[in-house]
């Protein structure tokens, strides 16, 4: 993802690279930037983001692992320093955003749902950030209907429960990214499948996020929060949890 960001920044007439860092480089090099883009690894991402926020620099986060507890801690930091906005994007693909939206609609009608996410072997975290966010939004959509039913959840083969939703992670060569959200009801199943076959799927979302992130306030989660902003040219997307 870092390589993709660098290419898109280099190709843009409106963007200029301040510094390109690895996750092992000193963070002081970000000082003076107009925006920090974090596409590192879950273990170091929170420290990078907090450093930037306390330095008064807006942040675009594309690193996985930002579950609701981490987001809650980040909101406290942003509120404490009355700092710049932080945009957290679990997935830069427009199709992925739509698939998650469709899942939240279906969640109100099915009490049984499980997620199977598959990524290339180089992905170091599991479940994926997209799967975590999808499960959390499904649980939120079912707030008035009760938690998802997950029989035998104590068995390890049943996956990791995220917001009561079982999530199963596969890491295989020959694939970029795939997420299946499977709903079960009386006499039927409904499967929402999103396949990413190339990193080209992320380009539109990355450019929209780069344009929007410096204008935001608070902690904003999800590419869907900035796609309308990119289309309308609005300068204020507001904060979202």
Q: Which phi and psi angles does 14 have, rounded to 5°?
A: -100, -5
- C-alpha distances (whole Å) from 131 to each of 134, 137, 151, 162 are 5, 10, 20, 9
Strands 36-38 and 59-61: parallel
* Strand order from edge to edge, sheet including 86-88: 36-38, 59-61, 86-88, 219-221
Q: Please confirm whether the linkage preceding 111 is cis (ω < 30° from 0).
A: no
* Residue of 119, 168, 194, 225 marked active site: 119
Residue of 18, 51, 123, 217 marked catalytic? 123
For 23, the 3-state DSSP assignment is coil
Vertex 193 angle, CA 187 and 143, to 5°: 65
Task: Tell me if residue 123 is catalytic.
Answer: yes
Catalytic residues: 119, 123
């Amino acid at each position: 993802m870092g390589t993709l960001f660098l290419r898109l920044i280099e190709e843009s007439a409106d963007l200029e690279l301040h510094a390109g860092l690895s996750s092992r480089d000193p963070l002081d090099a970000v000082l003076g930037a107009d925006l920090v883009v974090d596409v590192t690894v879950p273990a170091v991402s929170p420290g990078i983001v907090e450093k930037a926020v306390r330095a008064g620099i807006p942040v675009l986060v594309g690193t996985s692992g930002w579950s609701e507890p981490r987001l809650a801690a980040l909101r406290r930091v942003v509120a404490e320093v009355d700092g710049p906005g932080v945009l957290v994007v679990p997935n830069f693909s427009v199709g992925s955003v739509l698939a998650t939206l469709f899942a939240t609609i279906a969640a109100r009608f099915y009490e049984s749902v499980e997620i199977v996410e598959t990524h290339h072997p180089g992905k170091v975290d599991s479940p994926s950030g997209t799967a975590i966010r999808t499960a959390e939004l499904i649980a939120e959509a079912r707030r008035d209907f009760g938690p998802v039913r997950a029989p035998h959840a104590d068995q390890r083969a049943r996956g990791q429960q995220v917001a009561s939703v079982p999530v199963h992670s596969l890491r295989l060569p020959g694939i970029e990214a795939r997420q299946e959200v499977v709903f079960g009801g009386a006499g039927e199943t409904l499967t929402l499948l999103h396949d990413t076959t190339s990193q080209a799927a992320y380009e539109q979302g990355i450019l929209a996020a780069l344009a929007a992130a410096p204008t935001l306030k608070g902690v904003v989660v999800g590419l869907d929060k900035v796609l309308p902003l990119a289309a309308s040219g609005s300068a204020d997307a507001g904060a979202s949890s």
